[in-house]
Amino acid sequence: MGLLQSDKWLFVHVPKTAGTSISNVLKEKDCVELATHGKLESQRDLGNRFVFAFVRNPFEWFGSLYHSHIRQHRKLPIEEFIKTHESWDYFFDTQTSWIKYNGLLDRINFIGKYENLNKDFKIVCERIDYKDRGLTLENYNTIRDVYPNMDMYDYYRKRCYTNPKVVEFVREKYKEDFKNFDYGLALWREGDYWNHRYARRYYRFCLYDYKQRRW
């Protein structure tokens, strides 16, 4: 992952936002990789390039980060993962920090969302004059192989957020991401309210926040 640049555009690969899949498609064009784990702030001259990135709901994003760690290294309770990694692992940085330039977000031309991946990638393709042929999510199938019928947001919610302290950690740690990218602080998504009895039975230790209501 990193910064991918041509003479007309620059892609900022925010970790765990399908950046590998996007990069693999873009590498078919005439471009170069500037940095393995580079943030936009590291670049001195952007010129008139079209700068874009993708972001993700912070709850799902952090769940993906945790899942990736335990898949590659060792199984660790999420509370221990936070305790042992937060102070030094730059992957814990906010998504906002990857795309700021001179401390601001005004140099990023387009911010796509993981939740609207193919739709937003089509917009990018139009802007960079590239024929969109769709995306194949390179790092998506490890969970899908085990839970083929489970929504990914639901998967992370069940596996990562049974402890209210973890919920509050994500809300506080990534509060600028919730704000900057217009994600609600509710752990349960719009449309899940019908399922509240199921949620109460299985996740009664979670903090439920739906349109600023809690129980």
Task: Name the strands in the sheet holding 50-55, side by side, starting at the edge strand that comes first in the sequence.
Answer: 32-35, 3-5, 9-12, 50-55, 110-113
Torsion on CA atoms 186, 190, 195, 198, rounded to nearest 10: -20
Domain boundaries, the chain: 3-184, 185-215
Give residue 54's pLDDT: 97
Angle at which helices 58-72 and 78-85 cross, to 10°: 90
Higher pLDDT, 14 or 156: 14
pTM of the model: 0.81
- pLDDT attached to residue 98: 94
pLDDT for the residue numbered 168: 94
Give the right CATH number for 3-184 from 3.40.50, 1.10.3430, 3.30.70, 1.10.3470: 3.40.50
Residue 209 dihedral angles phi and psi, to the nearest 5°: -135, 110
For 169-209, the pLDDT digits (tens) are: 999 999 999 999 999 998 766 554 434 444 444 344 344 44
Mean pLDDT value across residues 126-155:
66
> What pLDDT sits at residue 9?
94
Instruction: Give residue 130's pLDDT band: very low, low, confident or very high (50, 70, 90).
Output: confident
Q: Mean pLDDT score of the chain, rounded to an integer?
A: 79
- Say which residue, 18 or 148, is predicted with more confidence: 18
